[in-house]
Amino acid sequence: MEWYVEAGVDILLEDTPVDRFSEQPPAPRIKTPSMQVNSPQEHLAKRAENKPRPVPTKAQAVMPDGAAIEMSKNLALKANTLEELKQAMASFEGCNLKRTAKSLVFADGNPQAKLMLIGEAPGRDEDLHGLPFVGRAGQLLDKMLAAIDLNRENTYITNVIPWRPPGNRTPTPQETEICRPFIERHIELVNPDYVLMVGGSSAKTLMKTTDGIMKLRGKWTELRIKSLTVKALPTLHPAYLLRQPTHKRLAWQDLLSLKQHLNSA
């Protein structure tokens, strides 16, 4: 079970375990002359005639398309406060990630802070606690911030995607575009002086580029969201640094550059 959890498989088919070995085998089916064996095509056709097609409901999965993107745009645009934005995201039914996630991971920290950190998506621990960056990568992020005299009381932390993808998989481009209006409105409402884009997925989404994080990191840029312009810096994700600790020196260079800008401000 620990191996499954490490792989991200933490969703069960049923709430209680079932002992399949204790179940009785089904009784053998006795064929009668009246039984007729149909081809798969005939079986499907007959099934379609006799059974009406179910009407999709809010609890069912939806096709991620342009309509879902327009829906998220409209909801995000109507939100005038962070609380209204959170409620809009909680009521949004256009993203399938919401159906498998346990929590809406909105944000953590001080919304009045000058610095806003934006990651990609919640992981297992974040989904359980409803807060961003609380797992192993989050613990490393806290240490990185502490190295330049920052913490969760003087920063504001969120993600591009507010719901955990099943098994911690990478969000699809459609899922990212559906959630884009929410994160852009989130940035507008917080109105930070600086944005730290944590990881390649966050940087590529916000900067609308296909360049990799090794090419983007350490270079200051400007995020333009409607009338708002924010100075932003891409850096390496703590989860990546846990796998590649030799690259911590690159992240340290980015943090020093961030500290210099914050002090000058």
Fold of domain 66-264: Uracil-DNA Glycosylase, subunit E (3.40.470)
pLDDT at 3: 75
Counting Cβ atoms within 10 Å, is residue 91 exposed (0-12), middle (13-18) or buried (19+)? exposed
- The token duo for 55 is 């009407």
Nearest C-alpha neighbor of 161 from the set 183, 190, 135, 139: 183
- The token duo for 24 is 């009785």
pLDDT at 265: 80
Judge contact between 79 and 85, C-beta under 8 A.
yes
Residues of the chain with pLDDT under 50: 53-59
- What pTM was estimated for this model as a whole? 0.77
Domain ranges of the chain: 66-264
Q: What gap in Å lies between CA 84 and CA 27, rounded to an integer?
A: 57
pLDDT at 179: 97
